[in-house]
Amino acid sequence: MASMDGKTMDEIRKVLMERWRDLGGRGESGAGSEARPAAVPEIDAGAQAEIIDIAQNLEQLDRDSSLAEQERRKLVAIERALAKMATGSFGVCEECGEDIPPKRLMVLPEARYCANCQAFQERQSARIRQAAAR
């Protein structure tokens, strides 16, 4: 089980919820049930700038996919993290079962793997992309 304390968890949850809303989260995958598609307000200029900011960060993560696809993926990742908080499995590496360090989760709250396993996964997907590009 995750060893992080409740306060750290609360902080990370807050960060996740903010990002989720910034990305236009509507709970389509079922994790966030408070907001409904019909209740989403029009995006103002400030929010748009934030979305562009997030989108630019995402581009560094994956230059191959479209903006919409990146935002969708990010939303799914955040919703997955929030769902894991609800079930108590948040902060545990999905690969090796070790605790993910809280410091890492503060920077990357939607992280599913510890640093070691993440590096392994990235090497694997890079290999798959290379194979697909041929």
Residues at the interface with Zn ion (CB under 5 A): 93, 95-96, 114, 117
- Distance in Å, CB of 118 to Zn ion, minimum: 8
- Pick 65 or 118: Cβ nearer Zn ion: 118
Q: Which two tokens stand for residue 111?
A: 């992280």
Residue 15 gets the label, from left (phi > 0), alpha (psi -120 to 50) or beta, of alpha
Contact assessment for residue 126 and residue 118, using Cβ atoms and an 8 Å cutoff: no
CA nearest to 48, candidates 36, 56, 39:
56
- Distance in Å, CB of 109 to Zn ion, minimum: 16
- Pick 72 or 104: Cβ nearer Zn ion: 104
- Distance in Å, CB of 119 to Zn ion, minimum: 10
Alpha carbons 90 and 110: distance in angstroms, whole number: 9
DSSP code at position 112: -
Q: Around 24, how many Cα atoms within 13 Å sit in the side-chain half-sphere?
A: 18
- Distance in Å, CB of 97 to Zn ion, minimum: 7
